[in-house]
Amino acid sequence: MIADKKVAFYTLGCKLNFSETSTIARNFVNEGFSRVEFNQPADVYVINTCSVTDNADKRFKTIVKSALKTNPEAYLIAVGCYAQLKPEELAAVDGVDLVLGATEKFNVTSYINDLTKNDIGEVHSCEIEDANFYVGSYSIGDRTRAFLKVQDGCDYKCTYCTIPLARGISRSDTLENVLKNAKEIAAQDIKEIVLTGVNIGDYGKGEFGNKKHEHTFLDLVKALDQVEGIHRLRISSIEPNLLKDETIDFVSQSNSFVPHFHIPLQSGSDDLLKLMSRRYLTQLYTNRIESIKEAMPNACIGVDVIVGFPGETDEHFLETYNYLNALDISYLHVFTYSERPNTKAAGMDGVVPKNIRAKRSKMLRGLSAKKRRAFYESQIGNELTVLFESENKKGFIHGFTENYVKVKAPWDPELMNTLHTIKLTKIDEDGLVRFDFVAEDVMIKSTI
């Protein structure tokens, strides 16, 4: 294998991609490569692609050009969802040398015999039906928190989504391996773990290579809560129909799980939820929000929503807007619908003009800002715990409370990756929250 070379990584998309990039990077390091930042000269650049939105596809060429500008002779590798869905398209991009699909990406170093650039990108991509085995991964060393992959793939058939085509069937890591990875993360003094996957509420399916659920998501949560050395566990996006009351109740009383949920809605119109082939209607979603707030009044709840789905009339959009406006949630992630090849939605009638999609997206982003502000205001006066990040941003250090309130303080490197009890006092002009330290060993008043 090639040694004494430098490799750099760029990740597009979700937390799951970040966890997999980190694992692929460790494989390179084990083979003798030195990891450097993407904006630094490297012999190999690996781009982990996303295909959830049209914008992520378009960004790929820009990233390739950026890498080649740094080193025109660099060997460029594309992996990830876009690489599985459109391998030939990526291989045709000038400067790309190797494209690896869903299963091949975890063995990337075995596909490199030398670093001589190819005239045409080489493709190794499986049929998605062959992506039926599980490869565990987690991010470490990249951030204050770690992303721990517990599940991959999806058996749902939402009409707008390409993820089942890019990642294959739903399958899970073994509980034993998840706990082993969690302990390895805890041993690195990382204070927070975020559970990630494509459909983590489906955890347990395919755990031992079969379609049965050997364990449930609740089993996973309970087991992780017992791992020593983890200060915080955070659940990433989870489908509302798979977030059970038993899980909500357990999180509300757990040792490590924090009161923060991100629950995809996609539309506040039952008509559109049916067209999307979602597995719930708004009443179930409302019930989940009410259950969380009853058990954890200070919980932060984020919501995914899509605007401009085919057939979305003005009335449908207003139904969504009004539904979200009345719901006790904390922020929105707004996605403007983009047609994805080989999805049922791409052939549906009622295409919404792009200027209307943009207008609706802007309205919901405004609503999100209003919701976040109201949530932050509801937390003023509360004593919470903040975990400070490791980055100096214009002279400030930022951090998040357990319920995902973002705070800032003047830069102090000694605060990095530390937990402190604080009292939230005031929302700043940039929308972040001022605070006072209240722990007995730290009586430093914020001077923001």
CATH H superfamily, domain 6-126: Methylthiotransferase, N-terminal domain (3.40.50.12160)
CA 32/CA 365 separation, integer angstroms: 45
Task: Specify the fold of 132-258.
Answer: Transcription Regulator spoIIAA (3.30.750)
- On the question of pLDDT at 349 being above 90, the answer is yes
For residues 41-69, give the mean pLDDT. Answer: 87
Amino acid at 185: I
- Supply the DSSP symbol for 351: P
CA distance 325 to 202: 29
Q: Which residues, 6 or more positions from 123, have their beta carbon under 8 angstroms from its beta carbon?
A: 87, 88, 91, 98, 99
pTM: 0.91
Domain edges within the chain: 6-126, 132-258, 383-437
Q: Tokens at residue 225, please?
A: 């809560």
Neighbours of 268 (CB within 10 A): 24
Tokens 């291989």 locate to 91
Question: What confidence tens digit (pLDDT) does each residue in 362-413 have?
Answer: 999 999 999 999 999 999 999 999 999 988 888 999 999 999 999 999 999 9
| Band (212; pLDDT cuts 50, 70, 90) | confident
| pLDDT on residue 447 | 35
Q: Which amino acid is at 141?
A: G
Q: pLDDT tens, 250-289?
A: 999 998 999 999 999 999 999 999 999 999 999 999 999 9
Amino acid at 433: V
Tokens of 330: 């904390």
Which are the contacts of 30, defined by CB distance < 8 A and separation ≥ 6? none
Side-chain half-sphere CA neighbours of 74 within 13 A: 28
Mean per-residue pLDDT, 327-348 = 95
Please check whether residue 140 is in contact with residue 188, taking contact to mean a CB–CB distance below 8 angstroms: yes
Give 245's pLDDT tier (boundaries 50, 70, 90): very high
pLDDT of residue 444: 39
Span 9-30, pLDDT tens digits? 999 988 899 999 999 999 999 9
CA dihedral 211, 215, 221, 223 (to 10 degrees): -140
Where are any strands of DSSP class E within 102-218? 122-124, 145-149, 151-152, 171-172, 192-196
Asked whether the predicted pLDDT for residue 53 surpasses 50, the reply is yes
State the DSSP H helix or E strand holding residue 370, giving kind and residue range, or none if neither.
helix 354-379
pLDDT tens-place string over residues 401-445: 999 999 999 999 999 999 999 999 999 888 888 899 985 544 333
